Amino acid sequence: MASTPRKFTLASRASQLAQVQTDSVRDTLAALHPEIEFATSFMTTGGDHNQSQALYLLGGKALWTKELEVAMQEGVVDMLVHCLKDVPTSLPPGCEIAGVLERADPLDCLVVRKDAPWKSLEELPDGSVVGTSSVRRVAQLKRRFPKLVFKDVRGNLNTRLAKLDAPDGPYAAIVLAKAGMVRLGWGPRITAELGPPTLMYAVSQGALAIEIRADDEAARKLCRSITHWQTEWSCYAERACLRVLEGGCSVPVGVHTTLVEAEGDVRKGRLEIVGCITALEGETHVEHRIEADVHSVEEAEAIGARLAKVLIETGGRAILDDITTDRDRKIQLAKDNNEQV
């Protein structure tokens, strides 16, 4: 008798955005492999539980992935769907990223309060409060807009928009990833895109990744069937840069990457990657660009690692050391005041 095809369960966080993204990956797999059954499962992670503490103090590593990885390693689920920017650059033993889907627009965007007249950051009055939970965005934007006030805002996308539009809320505008806004149908609320030189985006922003157990060859083959190699190479270059910098998602590292495919060659291209590190108050900023031909994902990663070393040698190490000292001080202060960290 023929054996019953294996059923694969895809899991992610329980937020609306995570569910939309996971459903999209499931549908992509199902369309290419109609003979296989794909299901979904959703759960709450540590980053979802703590909605009061700034991400900068939480540290960022595995905030959105740990509980999911435990379920996968125990065999409860088979694949994890993540925003790749939320995935630590070093995974637990026995786990691997097996698939990376084509990247959506990685830029950040500005969303102003409903019915407000402003169309850009430049138009916001001095002292306006801009909400963002990203220390990277705050650092880069303080550098260019020192007269604006930046305030942490946590919660899922719908919650953040509700906080922005609240009549008694403090925010004149918030800064979000454009990809999430578009995926949830909030594209019309975008006031302006924020790209270089104003703001370089987070490592791997806009890309979805699939994590599997390293010994699950069947899952790996499915993931490779929907992988967009150009996105994979670009994002792995960025992740290699961040890995060398020893940073989590709460370190103010920004990137901007392009990969132009070579004509007539299936796997070859010209990679250009720009990286920056910005001090928390925007007073110091280092930036560097590398451009080179690449023939493999390993070569792309090597370029990202080389970029990180240049950034470190040209002032980045001092910035990162200051950030570590600042975080440790704030964490200790919170503990002394019996606050949750």
DSSP of 212-227: EETT-HHHHHHHHHT-
| Percent of the chain that is helix, strand, coil (3-state, to 5) | 40, 25, 40
**Model confidence, pTM:** 0.90
Q: What pLDDT, on a 0 to 100 scale, did the predictor assign at position 191?
A: 98
Is-contact 68 12, C-beta < 8 A?
Answer: yes
User: Looking at residues 270-288, what average pLDDT do you find?
Assistant: 96
Beta bridge partners of 290: 273
Q: What pLDDT, on a 0 to 100 scale, did the predictor assign at position 63?
A: 54
Q: Which residues are catalytic?
A: 86
CA–CA dist 149, 121 (Å, integer): 12
All domains of the chain in start order, with CATH: 1-101+206-227 (3.40.190.10), 108-194 (3.40.190.10), 229-341 (3.30.160.40)
User: Looking at residues 190-212, what average pLDDT do you find?
Assistant: 97
Task: Choose between 83 and 248: higher pLDDT.
Answer: 83
Q: What integer best gives the mean pLDDT of the chain?
A: 91
Beta bridge partners of 314: none
Beta bridge partners of 151: 131
**Contacts of residue 4, Cβ cutoff 8 Å, sequence gap at least 6:** none
Q: What pLDDT, on a 0 to 100 scale, did the predictor assign at position 51?
A: 47
- Confidence class of residue 319 from pLDDT cuts 50, 70 and 90? very high
In DSSP notation, 31-69 reads HH-TTS-EEEEEE--HHHH--SS-HHHH--TTTTTHHHH
The answer to whether the Cα torsion of 51, 53, 55, 60 is positive or negative is negative
Locate all alpha helices (DSSP H) within 119-216, ordered by sequence: 135-144, 157-165, 178-183
